[in-house]
Chain A
Amino acid sequence: MDVRIVTQAFDPQQEVAAFAAGRDDAGALVSFIGTCRAATGGVAVSELHIDHYPGFSEKEIARLAEETARRFACPDLLVVHRVGPICPGEAIVLVAALSEHRNNAFEVVRILMDYLKTDAPLWKKETGPTGTRWIEPRNEDYARRRQAGEGTS
């Protein structure tokens, strides 16, 4: 299990390659990369800023990852989450899972992303042509979180 918060740009492909290197115990590798969009709802985004609470954010994301991995009997997970200022096109989050078979690897990545949207102690602020705005989870994010289960709160 490797869970990290980083303040600098990272290369998700390189991270995934290092994570999976030599893991011939796993028959499936699934990864998700979330990137910063250049526009939201047709409105340009010049920068995204993610605020975090040092110590607590790392601890909570690790807890979410460990509980999700245990739930899906997933032997190993990688989570890298960027904080601070982020430019369009740069990676925000990487979640990768190794598993014996593909179904558990797909599920653990999907469910962990649902948790991260609403339960990871991180706060996004978008800057665009009309100023800045803090982003809060949408109703559909909360709905997906409920479907994902209440086991980690």
Chain B
Amino acid sequence: MVRLVFLGKFGDVAPASLAEVALPSDIVTLQDLKAWVARQQPLLGAAMEATRTRLIVNQCVAHDLSQRIADGDEIAFLPPMSGG
């Protein structure tokens, strides 16, 4: 199982059912996960496609989408930030 967190505008279109998911065995990397999420939720996929999306794994920035996912990971999807 992995926990998925969707921030900002991604949170508006992400269903609660994606908060904790058992991934299919062929979803191995962050890139696989991003594509899988887009297939599950086309609206969310379109929102991610339309903007810059950063992934955070266990509170650390993922610089490489080929990073492998481990059981129990928390993975957050971040749209462009707007603080201040």
Chain A residues at the B interface, C-beta cutoff of 8 Å: 34, 50-53, 55-56, 59, 61, 81, 92-93, 113, 116-125, 134-137
Q: Tell me whether A123 and B56 are in contact (CB under 8 A).
A: no
Q: Report Cα–Cα, A58/B9, bound state, in Å.
A: 20
A80 to chain B, nearest CB (A): 12
Q: Report Cα–Cα, A50/B20, bound state, in Å.
A: 24
Known: A51-B7, A55-B59. A116 touches B51 (CB 8 A): no
Chain B residues at the A interface, C-beta cutoff of 8 Å: 5, 7-9, 11-12, 51, 56, 59, 76, 78-84
A87 to chain B, nearest CB (A): 18
Q: Can you sample 17 A-B contacts with CB below 8 Å?
A: A51-B11, A52-B7, A53-B7, A55-B59, A59-B59, A119-B81, A119-B83, A120-B81, A121-B7, A122-B83, A123-B8, A123-B9, A123-B82, A125-B9, A134-B12, A134-B82, A136-B51
Q: Report Cα–Cα, A125/B79, bound state, in Å.
A: 13
Known: A51-B8, A123-B9. A137 touches B81 (CB 8 A): yes
Q: Tell me whether B56 and A53 are in contact (CB under 8 A).
A: yes
Q: Tell me whether B76 and A53 are in contact (CB under 8 A).
A: yes
Q: Tell me whether B82 and A124 are in contact (CB under 8 A).
A: yes
Q: Report Cα–Cα, A119/B82, bound state, in Å.
A: 8
A106 to chain B, nearest CB (A): 17
| Chain B residues, CB < 8 A from A135 | 82
Q: Tell me whether A117 and B84 are in contact (CB under 8 A).
A: yes
Q: Tell me whether B83 and A93 are in contact (CB under 8 A).
A: yes
